[in-house]
Amino acid sequence: MISATVENTPANEPRTSGAAQQWWRDAVVYQVYVRSFLDSTGDGIGDLAGIRAGLPYLKRLGVDGIWINPFYPSPQHDHGYDVADYCGVDPVYGSLADFDHLIGDAHRLGLKCLVDIVPNHCSADHPWFRRALAEGPDSPARARFHFSDGRGESGELPPNNWHAMFGGPAWSRVVEPDGTPGQWYLHLFTPEQPDLNWRNPEVRSYFDQVLRFWLDRGVDGFRIDVAAGLFKHPALPDSDDPTVDERTRDSVNPLAWNQPEVHGIWRDWRTICEEYTARDGLDRLLVGEVSVPTAADQAAYVRPDELHQAFFFHLLTAPWQSDHFRRVITEALRDIAGTGSTITWVLNNHDQIRAVTRYAAPASTAGTDLPAGSVRARAAALLMLALPGAAYVYQGEELGLPEVMDLPDEVLTDPIFHRTGSRLRIRDGCRVPLPWSGQASPFGFTTGEATARPWLPQPDWFAEHTTERALADTGSFWHLYRDALHLRRSLPQLGDGPLRWLDSPPEVLAFVRGDGLVCAINFADQPVHAPLSDAPILASGPCPPAMLPGNTAAWWVTDQLTA
């Protein structure tokens, strides 16, 4: 029997009625890394037709929609986050017709479809940048980027001291059309990703057209890359701290990020989305990758006339400790739910070491006790799916995939690895193509005639994590996610709505949703008494009567709560 309620957090708006309206408030969206989902052509690289073939699988899992990582024409220096043409499809991933078929099928299955938009920078192969190089200093073509003369006697030093996110300086020097060493251009990521100048009205109107192009093709919204970027301090001065935090890979340079003008762009984009909604009554969604230091900073991006959502990464980066989880959840509820938006929870994505491996050693970034990591990742999933708001699930998370930690150096493609002198091996291990079936690579990843190996090698142990195996085993991660997602649909307490903390021992977080859905998670290794003596309706692992084992989460429905 539960008696004491210790803390009240601000309630979200009540769960909305009307299926189409504000569907995003408590949606669970599946992130598809197109290169690695399913390959329909046998070239070893996933593609749009592969995603289309996988839609029934996702429908069965119970997600509300998909977000597809960039599939636009690109030289692939950062796997599509270097866009050479914002209104096309890279031939390696298919064609616009394939995209139309994919979105048509998604909508027929009742799945929303979000695409990724990359406004902070384009590819050095984009026609605008090529023109900027060709037309030289002071040309209108250069004014779309941040070109500057260098410092030093002959301009041989970069214009300021900023660092790039992926290593090295944030400036590269060009050779002018007459063959002489010339100006420098700004790139906050790699030299192949020149930053656009958002104070140039041409850039603004270009992206308005890009949004409309995809909205006209039927997309339900956009995941916005680097949404705290876009504007830099207008004078591009030296920074007191130009470094990048290697652990979180957040920039601490306040001159390069989070400038106030960016909010005007999100207001404009919201207006465009609302124009489409006014035509057909369907909500479009803007979800931003907003990497800013605190939940309070993030709240400014999800004010009612800006982005609908911003990924809340603090849950993803929290170590496996109850006090850390409690703190980040409390801050999100206080700062973000207070804006009227909903919190957008994430445990995995294509930039981070997978949760199973992160939790494989307490409080570290990557451990080796994978059975423990798995048990904890299952518990974290039940916690996330019980929290108020929306959630994003990264492909393979539903299979309990650990990170592939031992990829050989020569296959690594992440620019972070190459630009940090091979020190940081971070992003390839979560991007290995998914295992679908069978006992050996390519594990059904390619449905076409296999003529090439998967673009990153799959380890033999992927055999234990195929979707085929997961579907056949009711104790699998997949069934846990599926059961949780189906309960989210059927139980009105879950999704959007209020959360109240319950009294619990320090190593346990326990809360109630709505009028009686209780979720508790035990971060310790030792069991504790469960908050309710009834059997849970769902648990991340076996629960003896009235007990909550270590590293386990469970959900109960009860009418025994006192207010």
Binding region for ligand GLC (CB under 6 A): 78, 81, 118, 189, 225-226, 289, 350-351
DSSP-assigned letters across all residues of 173-235: EEE-TTSSEEEEEE-SS-TTSPBB-TTSHHHHHHHHHHHHHHHHTT--EEEETTTT-S---TT
- Concerning whether 473 is annotated as a catalytic residue, the answer is no
Active-site pick, 220, 225, 289, 398:
225
Cβ at position 432, least distance to ligand GLC in Å: 15
Question: Minimum Å distance from CB 111 to ligand GLC?
Answer: 22
**Peptide bond between residue 73 and the one before it cis (omega within 30 degrees of 0):** no
Closest contact distance (angstroms) between CB of 276 and ligand GLC is: 25
3-class SS at 258?
coil
- The residue (of 270 and 431) whose beta carbon lies closer to ligand GLC is 431
Backbone angles phi, psi at 207, to 5 degrees: -70, -30
User: CA nearest 52: which of 13, 4, 97?
Assistant: 97
Active site residue 428: no
Q: Which is nearer to ligand GLC, 391 or 538 (CB)?
A: 391
Report the side by side order of strands in the sheet with 5-8. 5-8, 499-502, 508-513, 517-522, 552-557, 538-539
Q: How far apart are CA 271 and CA 526, in angstroms?
A: 52
What is the SS3 string spanning 420-438? CCCCCCCCCCCCCCCCCCC
Among residues 292 and 386, whose Cβ is nearest to ligand GLC?
A: 292
Nearer to ligand GLC, 67 or 81 (CB): 81
From the list 138, 238, 274, 275, the catalytic residue is 275
The CA radius of gyration of the chain, in Å to the nearest whole number, is: 24
Of 315 and 554, the one with the shorter C-beta distance to ligand GLC is: 315
d(CA 14, CA 12): 6
Q: Which is nearer to ligand GLC, 67 or 320 (CB)?
A: 67
DSSP letters, 76-128, are: -TTTTSS-S-TTS--TTT--HHHHHHHHHHHHHTT-EEEEEE--SB--TTSHH
Report the distance separating Cα 7 and Cα 467, nearest Å: 41
Instruction: Give residues with Cβ within 8 angstroms of 307, minimum separation 6.
Output: 224, 227, 266, 269, 270, 286, 287, 288, 290, 301, 341
Give the side-chain half-sphere CA count within 13 A for 63: 28
Residue 218 Cα distances to 65, 273, 427, angstroms: 13, 12, 31
Interatomic CA distance for residues 381 and 540, integer angstroms? 8
* Token pair of 498 as six digits: 């209020």
Cα–Cα distances (Å) from 283 to 209, 211, 301, 520, in that order, read: 19, 15, 18, 33
Shortest distance, position 501 Cβ to ligand GLC, whole Å: 32
Distance CA 492, CA 431 (A): 35
Minimum distance of ligand GLC from residue 253's CB (angstroms): 16
Beta bridge partners of residue 345, listed in sequence order: 312, 391
Please say which residue, 84 or 509, places its beta carbon nearer to ligand GLC: 84
Nearer of residues 292 and 510 to ligand GLC, judged by Cβ: 292
Give the separation between CA 278 and CA 270, rounded to whole angstroms: 12
Minimum separation from the CB atom of position 88 to ligand GLC (A)? 18
Which residue lies nearer to ligand GLC by CB, 334 or 350?
A: 350
Nearest distance, CB of residue 318 and ligand GLC, angstroms: 19
Instruction: Give the nearest distance from C-beta 526 to ligand GLC in angstroms.
Output: 38
Q: Which residue is nearest to ligand GLC (CB)?
A: 81
Cβ 123 to ligand GLC, closest distance in Å?
A: 10
- The residues annotated with a catalytic role in the active site are 225, 275
